[in-house]
Amino acid sequence: MLRLKAKSDGHCVARVPLIEGFKFPNERIVNISVSYHACVLVLQSVSGGGAGSTGGMNLIRTRVFVCYSANRNEFGVRKTKFTERVETFSQSGIENSEIEWTCLEDFQLQDGEFITKTSCAAFTCCFLTSHGRLLACGSNQFFEIAQPSSDNNIPAIQCCCLDPSNECKEPFFTKTVNGDHNIIALTRDHNIFYCGYSMGNNGNNLPMMKQLAPISLMGEDEYFIDICASYYSWIYLTNKFNLYLVDKFHSNLAKICGEPVISCRMCSSNKTFFLVINNSQIYSLDSQSKFKLIHKVTNPKPNQHLQITSARDNLIAYWETNSESKNLKEQGENLKNRVIDGNLSDIIIFQ
């Protein structure tokens, strides 16, 4: 895990929480989500079926850990806490500190079901399962975890409630993103569901996951393939690479970048969306709905993908490769050398 901070002198400070104290040797990190309140990890292990197992199939297990920026609105009811060391690498050397991780243990999972992904924002957290279910916990002040309850905070992890008027009665969720007090979710059959702050009729808070109504400008063979959310806005991307802002057509990405679009990845900060188009151009979409080209790759790397992630008001872009070491100690040593040597050539921070 890597946290980068741009300093005024142009150098970077990197903080690496070492999780080997509670990570089993056969586990790997399969998902990370971060908000200003919490960082959530999903660790996964796979074991062989062997005698007595159903059909000799591999058994997948996941464990979910969270650390908080402050002791407020903790997630889960049953949990175990661990204290881990943190190494901070900078130009001045290495410093050590400690942080507390909490293992969440009150998931009510079905037979063979496991957690696949998480997403979090403000004081809530969502969990997707291998069966396509959507679970959530935390603040419910604006119904942002889809529980029609008067309780402002629900630490117990529960299945999100669905609006009975939805056309799709049993959605299989594949991705979630969170506004400051919202959930937006994408399903396997390309439907979108949402709940929370100011998302109901006349700006009311919406207490259950409601299916997005058809958008009149979409073509018959057009469907949603991705979603993204900032604090108080959200965008949807279709297979035609048309971008919809909330529920209205915004733009066609080919017209924005001036070339045919074959790929697009999205992320957001609190007010701004960022898009990587064709693995080479990075655009921002601000709160005034205006696009801006902020970086164009001049030396693309073969067989690697340009990835982006936001950190408060900064955007971090990096090349993803499958050749990186899976060993946490080797990753830490590699990162330490690169930061101290001032050689973060494959990581760009836009301020």
Per domain, the residue ranges of the chain are 1-213
Pairing type for strands 264-268 and 192-196 reads unpaired
Kindly report, residue by residue over 227-283, the tens digit of the pLDDT.
999 888 899 999 999 999 877 888 999 999 999 999 999 999 888 999 999 999 999
Backbone angles phi, psi at 276, to 5 degrees: -100, 115
**pTM confidence score:** 0.84
Least confident span in 144-148, 229-233, 330-334: 330-334
Q: Is the pLDDT of residue 160 over 90?
A: yes
Predicted confidence at residue 22, as pLDDT, reads: 78
For 168, the enclosing helix (H) or strand (E) is none
Q: Is the pLDDT of residue 9 over 80?
A: no
How far apart are alpha carbons 321 and 303 in whole angstroms?
8
How far apart are alpha carbons 337 and 95 in whole angstroms?
14
How far apart are alpha carbons 244 and 40 in whole angstroms?
29
How far apart are alpha carbons 186 and 228 in whole angstroms?
10
CATH of domain 1-213: 2.130.10.30
Q: How far is CA 190 from CA 161, 220, 235, 241, in A?
A: 19, 13, 14, 14
In the chain, helix, strand, coil percent, each to 5?
5, 50, 45
What average pLDDT is seen over the chain? 82
Kindly report, residue by residue over 89-134, the tens digit of the pLDDT.
555 555 666 778 899 998 989 999 999 999 998 889 999 999 999 9
Q: Strands across the sheet with 38-47, in order?
A: 3-6, 12-17, 79-90, 93-104, 59-68, 38-47, 28-34
How far apart are alpha carbons 16 and 37 in whole angstroms?
18
**Helix extents (H) in the chain:** 253-257, 328-340
What are the structure tokens assigned to 194, written together?
Answer: 């949402």
